[in-house]
Chains A and B, each alone.
Chain A
Amino acid sequence: MLAEIIGHARRDHPDEACGVIAGPAGSDRAERLIPMANAERSPTFYRLDPMEQLRVWREMDDRDEQPVVIYHSHTATEAYPSRTDISYASEPQAHYLLVSTRDPDQAEVRSYRITDGAVTEEEVRVVETLPSEQAAIQRSPS
Chain B
Amino acid sequence: MAIEVRIPTILRNKTGGEKSVSGAGNTLADLFSDLDDRHPGLRDRLVTTDGALHRFVNVYVNDEDVRFTGSLETPVKDGDSVTILPAVAGG
| Interaction A to B | yes
- B binding-site residues for A, Cβ under 8 Å: 8-10, 56, 58, 60, 63, 65, 67, 83, 85-91
A78 at interface, CB cutoff 8 A: no
B90 x A46 contact (CB < 8 A): yes
Contact B89 A54 (CB under 8 A): no
Measured as residues with beta carbon below 8 angstroms from the partner, the interface class of chain A is 20 to 34
Do A90 and B10 touch across chains, with their CB atoms under 8 A apart? yes
State how many angstroms separate the Cβ of A84 from the closest Cβ of chain B. Answer: 4
Q: Which residue of B lies closest to A58 (CB)?
A: B83
Q: Which residues of B contact A48 (CB under 8 A)?
A: 87-89
Contact B58 A54 (CB under 8 A): yes
Name the residue among B60, B67, B83, B91 with the largest chain A CB count within 10 angstroms.
B91
Contact partner of A90 among B63, B65, B67, B87, CB < 8 A? B87
> Do B58 and A82 touch across chains, with their CB atoms under 8 A apart?
no
Known: A53-B88, A90-B87. 19 other contacts (CB 8 A): A45-B89, A46-B90, A47-B88, A48-B88, A50-B67, A50-B85, A50-B87, A53-B58, A54-B58, A54-B65, A54-B83, A57-B85, A72-B90, A88-B87, A89-B90, A90-B10, A90-B56, A90-B86, A91-B88
| A residues apposed to B, CB below 8 Å | 18, 20, 40, 44-48, 50-51, 53-54, 57-58, 67, 70, 72, 81-86, 88-93
Residues of B within 8 A of A67 (CB): 88
B8 surroundings in chain A (CB, below 8 A): 90
Q: Which residues of A contact B83 (CB under 8 A)?
A: 54, 58
Closest to A93 in B: B9
State whether A50 touches B65 (Cβ < 8 A). Answer: yes
Q: A46 to B88: give the CA distance in the assembly, Å.
A: 8
B9 contacts A82, C-beta separation under 8 Å? no
Measured CB to CB, the nearest residue on chain B to A84 is B91
B88: chain A residues at CB < 8 Å are: 18, 20, 47-48, 53, 67, 70, 88, 90-91
